[in-house]
Amino acid sequence: MNLGFLKKLRVFVSLLFFVLTSLLFLDFTSSLSTALFSSITYLEFVPSLLKFVNLLTFTSIGFLIILILNIFFGRVYCSTICPLGTLQDIISFFGKKFSKKKKFKFSKPLNKLRYSILVITTLTFLGGTILAVNILDPYSNFGRIMVQFFKPAVVLLNNIVSYILESMKLYWVYPSEIRGFRITSLILPVICLGLVGWLSYFKGRLYCNSVCPVGSLLGIISKFSLFKIEIDLSTCENCGHCGTVCKSSCIDVKNKTVDFTRCVSCFNCFEICPTLGLKYKYSYGKESAVLSSEEENDRRKFLLSSTAYLLGYAGLSFGQNKVKVYTLNTVPVFVKSPVSPPGSQSIERFNHICTACNLCVTACPTQVLQPSFFEYGLTGMFQPRFNNNYGYCNFDCLKCGEVCPTGAILPLKVEQKRVTQVGRAKFIKENCVVETQKTDCGACSEHCPTKAVKMIPYNNLFLPEVKEEFCVGCGACEHACPTIPYKAIYIEGNPVHKTAEKPKEEKIEKKIDLKEDFPF
Amino acid sequence: MDRRVFLKTGVTAGAALALGRYDNLFANYAENIDMVAVKGGEPDIMLDKAIEAFGGMGSFVKKGQKVVIKPNIGWDVDPERAGNTNPKLVGRLIEHCYNAGAKEVYVFDHTCDDWKRCYSTSGIEKAAKDKKATVVPGNTENYYQKVTIKEGKRLKETSVHELILSSDVFINLPVLKNHSSSKLSISMKNLMGVVWDRGYWHKNDLHQCIADFATAYKPTLNIIDAYNVMMKNGPRGVSKADVVQMKNLIITRDIVAADAAAAKVFGMDPATVGHIKYASDMNVGKMDLSKLNIKRIIL
């Protein structure tokens, strides 16, 4: 049977996933439906696996589908669904166009390297830190590259179009701004894009077969696949074409063998073989167990939780515009714990599940979610946290929980969200406008959605007072507080999220007589 | 140009200039009304009555003019919470503007909560688009241009949304409500939604800054929505229990009188609200309503 069509199918499916996945990360206007988010990310291996092991829910078995496909046909994930894989194919495509070296050739597997990376990643994960998974997960790497490099470009383009249209009085496209840029957020995407770009430009899928732990894991399973790509010795004419198009450099033309652990199922060889000499052949392999529940229990026992907060000091407030008459305040703000997104339940839980893919960073309409650096400590690097300098969590917004593919941020119902206390407001009277300028302000109380921050009479003025039991930690007060250089009100994160009291509803006793004359 | 044609047009134009603005002839009977207060009807009906009392929308909007309407769309709360201007009122006002011959009508606010959610949840985006107004965001700095406030005591300069600067007619459409910063949020407070840096106001004597801004940017018309009034927990409110249905509407060119009247409807002495008092002292408008010709309509 001519299996050449499989290559065309693979190209189509991979580009489809690539475009859709990219759109998710570039959707800075939050206009895509959350159903699209969840259906695209459903099949992403690491997020889906994490969601499954942490929630033990059968609604997140995307990774099982990948594994089953893998057990049948090898690493189909790597060539179709993995967006970093397709990104490499695109770079590789242009590499072959522009460089002198037009052909691939067989190379030996870098087994020591790839398996040690897999072992280290697995062991550190079982040991309780997700850091290595975060740094190496291809989906999350792709997300960070999109959010840090391509999103700004798209926003810029959007703003240029918006500017041109608005000069013609057409308000069709709205300008946007990217708040909270931090150079540290570029560390991982720069390294990853550099490495992936360089390797794929010259060596096809070498990254996937030497660095990527997902590739190595799926490769091990490929060993036991029911159907493997093999060279049919009876029809092979020794032309060697297949070896020149193999991105994984896994076809040994001399010995007529295929290293199926490295094959990413791109099907280029099927298409090029003049004699249909490359085939999927049934082999009598055994299935391998993936992650037993025992291992999972072990993992929980060995959670290393103590390091998370060692370095967890949030950055100080940034200054605002120039001031003329305003007197600066004096009390520095030291935050003990950062704020993790609502639905993450606790910082510890969040730190162990989030792969820092940055999808929620793009989806968050107020941009309060920003990649962290050391706020969560070493193990939680680059995972998103609240940064109220750039925004605050909109009271009824549920977006981050809706898009999170790993279950690190669980979806909330709006009633739950309204009482989810991610932190508590702390007031520093000495920094407050009312105290330092002796004039009314009230910006904090104004923005508070639960009126946990109330204004109480104070020297003929009104001073904020915080009732922590009603506070949800949204950060609206901190964001609105105009004082510099330090905030007079800030959010202290709850390491374990709590439930806030619902604001009290008291009916107003006021008689309205619609026929009564006006009071003036 | 043909000499005759030139003469003809010249004479016609001269005559037109000599006679002045025709529309004033017809609007004359309403000329001496300073304020219209309406009570007891639906928001759109009360607006119809008030505008009729002023001699029609033509008194404010001329043919071919560009109109900007500034409702309060500050919060991501639905209409019954009364945190934002009533969408029905916004819709009907746009109709009046177009009926009076407005070329374009724009609607925007610099919101506090996420602007897209505010525009949508408030119902104002839909109401405005249904009536063919252009809905413009106010939440990126590029829309704002630096202006100086000559008479400002604390606020000497600020940045104002380009639509306010470029429109012929500026209609201020606030909702009356309790406010934790400024005591009441009415017409003058609503103008905080046309500037960029509100933090500056907050830290430099909020009440004075509100009054300062009103010295320089007086709306053509102030229309106060006091149909549903948030009596406490303002400006965002925490539940429907904060709201009392009063069914009032106040319309006037005088922004201080507007706020003074609305404060009284709310049940407060306007002189106890800092910015109303300051604005009155700075002669922005009249806080003393006894000197005004007010038309009162109870439906």
A172-185: pLDDT as tens digits: 888 998 888 888 99
Q: State the complex-level ipTM.
A: 0.87
Contacts of B183 (CB under 8 A, 6+ apart): B268, B272, B273, B274
Percent of chain A with pLDDT over 90: 66
Q: Which of A440, A465, A505 to mutate to test the interface with B (most CBs of B within 10 A)?
A: A440
Q: Residues B19, B47: one domain?
A: no
Asked if A221 and A235 touch (Cβ cutoff 8 Å), the reply is no
Asked if A488 and A433 touch (Cβ cutoff 8 Å), the reply is yes
Dihedral sign, Cα of residue A185, residue A190, residue A191, residue A192: positive
**What is the SS3 assignment for A244-313?**
HHCCCCCEECCCCEECCCCCCCCCHHHHHCCCCCEEEEECCCCCCCCCCHHHHHHHHHCCCCHHHHCCCC
- pLDDT band of residue A332 (cuts 50, 70, 90) is confident
**pLDDT of the residue at A296:** 40
Q: Which of B34, B72, B111, B114 to mutate to test the interface with A (most CBs of A within 10 A)?
A: B114
Other CB atoms within a 10 A radius of the CB of residue B30 amount to 16
Cα separation of A49 and A45, whole Å? 6
Asked if A149 and A189 touch (Cβ cutoff 8 Å), the reply is yes
Whether pLDDT at A289 is above 50: no
pLDDT one-digit tens code per residue, A412-422: 999 999 999 99
Q: Residues B158, B289: one domain?
A: yes
Whether pLDDT at B72 is above 80: yes
**pLDDT of the residue at A259:** 94
**What is the SS3 assignment for A199-259?**
HHHHHCCHHHHHCCHHHHHHHHHHCCCCEEEEECCCCCCCCCHHHHHCCCCCEECCCCEEC
Which residue from A315, A358, A372 is spatially nearest to A149, judged by alpha carbons?
A358
A368: closest chain B residue by CA: B114
The chain-wide mean pLDDT, for chain A, equals 88
Whether pLDDT at A81 is above 50: yes
Whether pLDDT at A169 is above 90: no
Whether pLDDT at A303 is above 90: no
**Which residues face A280 on adjacent strands?**
A229
Asked if A117 and A133 touch (Cβ cutoff 8 Å), the reply is no
Which helix or strand (DSSP H or E) is residue A495 part of? Answer: strand A489-499
Contacts of A255 (CB under 8 A, 6+ apart): none
Q: Residues B115, B63: one domain?
A: yes
Asked if A473 and A494 touch (Cβ cutoff 8 Å), the reply is yes
A482 to chain B: which residues are within 8 Å by CB? 198-200, 202-203
- pLDDT band of residue B53 (cuts 50, 70, 90) is very high
Residue among A177, A441, A508 whose CB faces B140 most closely: A177
**pLDDT of the residue at A452:** 97
Provide the pairing of β-strand A227-231 with A278-282.
antiparallel
The residue that leads in pLDDT, A292 or B135, is B135
Dihedral sign, Cα of residue A62, residue A64, residue A68, residue A69: positive
Amino acid at A211: V
Whether pLDDT at B161 is above 90: yes
**pLDDT of the residue at B19:** 44
Mean local confidence (pLDDT), A140-166? 94
Other CB atoms within a 10 A radius of the CB of residue B19 amount to 10
Whether pLDDT at B15 is above 90: no
Provide the pairing of β-strand B144-148 with B134-135.
unpaired
Cα separation of B288 and B280, whole Å? 9
DSSP state of B272: G
- In this structure, of A44-58, B207-221, B225-239, the range with the lowest mean pLDDT score is A44-58
Asked if B247 and B41 touch (Cβ cutoff 8 Å), the reply is yes
Q: Which of B67, B207, B212, B238 to mutate to test the interface with A (most CBs of A within 10 A)?
A: B238
**Which residues face B259 on adjacent strands?**
none
A476: closest chain B residue by CA: B113
Mean local confidence (pLDDT), B144-155? 95
Q: Where are the alpha helices (DSSP H) in B108-203?
A: 115-121, 124-130, 162-166, 187-190, 198-203
Q: Is A466 an 8 Å CB contact of chain B?
A: no
Cα separation of A333 and A313, whole Å? 10
**pLDDT of the residue at B14:** 47
Q: Which of A158, A325, A446 to mutate to test the interface with B (most CBs of B within 10 A)?
A: A446
Q: Residues B12, B125: one domain?
A: no
**pLDDT of the residue at B30:** 52
pTM of the model: 0.84
A275, with CB counted inside 10 A (0-12, 13-18, 19+), is exposed
**pLDDT of the residue at A512:** 83
3-state secondary structure of A349: helix
Q: Residues B5, B82: one domain?
A: no
Which residue from A421, A442, A423, A456 is spatially nearest to A488, judged by alpha carbons?
A442
DSSP state of A390: T
**pLDDT of the residue at B170:** 97
Other CB atoms within a 10 A radius of the CB of residue B137 amount to 19
Amino acid at B49: K
Contacts of A54 (CB under 8 A, 6+ apart): A349, A352, A353, A406, A407, A408
Q: Residues B239, B170: one domain?
A: yes
Cα separation of A502 and A452, whole Å? 10
Q: Residues B135, B64: one domain?
A: yes
Cα separation of B162 and B147, whole Å? 11
Tell me the residues of chain B between 91 and 110 that have a Cβ less than 8 Å away from chain A. Answer: 104
Domain parsing of chain A, residue ranges: 5-137+181-282, 305-499
DSSP A423-482: EEEEE-GGGSHHHHT-S---HHHHH-SS--EEEEEETTEEEEEE-GGG-----HHHHH--
**pLDDT of the residue at B3:** 53
List the CATH number of the domain containing B132. 3.40.50.11440
Q: Which domain holds residue B17?
A: 1-27
DSSP B60-121: T--TT-EEEEEE---SS--GGG-SS--HHHHHHHHHHHHHTT-SEEEE----SS-HHHHHHH
Domain count along chain B: 2
- In this structure, of A31-35, A111-115, A337-341, A500-504, the range with the lowest mean pLDDT score is A31-35
- pLDDT band of residue B295 (cuts 50, 70, 90) is very high
Mean local confidence (pLDDT), A62-87? 95
Q: Residues B65, B78: one domain?
A: yes
**pLDDT of the residue at A304:** 31
Which helix or strand (DSSP H or E) is residue A55 part of? Answer: helix A45-55
Q: CA dihedral in degrees (B44, B49, B53, B54; nearest 10)?
A: 10
Q: Is B200 an 8 Å CB contact of chain A?
A: yes
Mean local confidence (pLDDT), A490-517? 90
Mean local confidence (pLDDT), A64-83? 94
Asked if B156 and B216 touch (Cβ cutoff 8 Å), the reply is no
Contacts of A267 (CB under 8 A, 6+ apart): A3, A4, A6, A7, A9, A10, A79
**pLDDT of the residue at B27:** 45
Cα separation of B35 and B289, whole Å? 10
DSSP B200-245: HHHHS-HHHHHHHHHHH---SEEEEEEEEEE-SSTTT-SSGGGEEE
Residue among A397, A455, A507 whose CB faces B114 most closely: A397
A179: closest chain B residue by CA: B140
Work out the angle between the directed axes of helices A111-126 and A293-301 (0-180°, nearest 10). 70
Tell me the residues of chain B between 19 and 58 that have a Cβ less than 8 Å away from chain A. Answer: 37, 39-40
Q: Residues B12, B118: one domain?
A: no
pLDDT one-digit tens code per residue, A114-149: 999 999 999 999 888 899 999 999 999 999 999 999
**Structure tokens, A507:** 């009916």
- In this structure, of A134-148, A173-187, A291-305, B181-195, the range with the lowest mean pLDDT score is A291-305
The hierarchical CATH code for the domain A305-499 is 3.30.70.20
Whether pLDDT at A166 is above 90: no
Whether pLDDT at A294 is above 90: no
Q: Residues B168, B185: one domain?
A: yes
Q: Residues B199, B254: one domain?
A: yes
Mean local confidence (pLDDT), A497-505? 93
**pLDDT of the residue at B31:** 59
Residue among B39, B141, B264 whose CB faces A514 most closely: B39
Contacts of A117 (CB under 8 A, 6+ apart): A136, A211, A213, A216
**pLDDT of the residue at B26:** 47
Asked if B241 and B81 touch (Cβ cutoff 8 Å), the reply is no
**Structure tokens, B104:** 């374009």
Whether pLDDT at A292 is above 80: no
Q: Residues B9, B46: one domain?
A: no
CB contact under 8 A, A480 and B208: no
